[in-house]
């Protein structure tokens, strides 16, 4: 049985500025979130990105094709009540950051990891958050002061920026890379490449898996999309 989806009922989507932010209008009527809150964003660029998603809708609404709308809805409807939990979840990636683990059984990969990831661990250290490096997959206890410093940078973000940072960190597996993108220190395509060092090395050694590659491409598009929206916040 096919899943029911709302049908398109509007002819056009536009953007309207206001004192509290930018609204998206469907045939002149303000868009609202699923919880009926006003759908307001802080920049015209982001509002235009959302409006364009609504312009591109076919006969029925498919949320999978509307990532900007989905992420704004999450930020407006869910984050206010769950903010502390989301901050803790995002900051928690610092305790097991991808960049802190080296491939002990593959020296060539370990050297590549050190060369590519080392500079970003140095950047984290410059923020007051030095992180320890371990070999293999055994967890390493990171300095509590470092984790607090990273958590403070996460908590400083407003709800919408936090929702987008959550996407970057969850998709890449690295709080350090996510923060570097969010703070304008690292481009999103390069951050994604760095997050895929292990997978790309294994593909070089053993060949590529088409199904895994297709899944990774979907995550890559989501990562780049979240970074693009983050850049629109101003």
Rounded Cα distance, 217 and 32, in Å: 31
141-150 tens-digit pLDDT: 999 999 999 9
Of the candidates 1, 7, 71, the one whose C-alpha atom is nearest the C-alpha of residue 41 is 71
Q: Residue 7: beta bridge partners?
A: 60
Phi, psi of 13 (to 5 degrees): -120, 135
Are 211 and 155 in contact by the 8 Å Cβ rule? The answer is: no
166-197 tens-digit pLDDT: 999 999 999 999 999 999 999 999 999 999 99
pTM of structure: 0.93
Domains present along the chain, CATH in parentheses? 13-63 (3.30.2180.10), 80-231 (1.10.3580.10)
Rounded Cα distance, 59 and 57, in Å: 7
- Size of the chain, expressed as the number of residues it contains: 234
């Amino acid at each position: 049985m096919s899943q029911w989806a709302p049908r398109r009922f509007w002819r056009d989507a536009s953007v309207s500025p206001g004192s509290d932010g930018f609204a998206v209008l469907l045939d002149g009527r303000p868009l609202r979130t699923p919880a009926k809150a006003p759908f307001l964003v802080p920049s015209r660029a982001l509002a235009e990105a959302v409006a364009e998603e609504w312009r591109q809708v076919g006969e029925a609404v498919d949320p999978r094709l509307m990532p900007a709308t989905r992420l704004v809805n999450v930020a407006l409807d869910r984050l206010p009540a769950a903010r502390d939990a989301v901050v803790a979840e995002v900051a928690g990636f610092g305790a097991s950051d991808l960049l802190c683990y080296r491939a002990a059984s593959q020296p060539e990969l370990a050297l590549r990891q050190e060369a590519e990831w080392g500079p970003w661990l140095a950047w984290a250290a410059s923020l007051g958050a030095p992180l320890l490096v371990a070999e293999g997959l055994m967890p390493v206890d990171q300095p509590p002061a470092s984790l607090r410093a990273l958590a403070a940078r996460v908590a400083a973000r407003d709800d919408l920026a936090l929702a987008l940072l959550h996407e970057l960190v969850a998709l890449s597996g690295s709080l350090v890379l996510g923060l570097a993108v969010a703070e304008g220190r690292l481009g999103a395509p390069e951050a994604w490449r760095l997050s895929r060092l292990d997978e790309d090395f294994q593909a070089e050694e053993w060949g590529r898996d088409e199904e895994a590659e297709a899944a990774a491409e979907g995550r890559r598009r989501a990562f780049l999309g979240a970074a693009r929206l983050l850049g629109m916040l101003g």
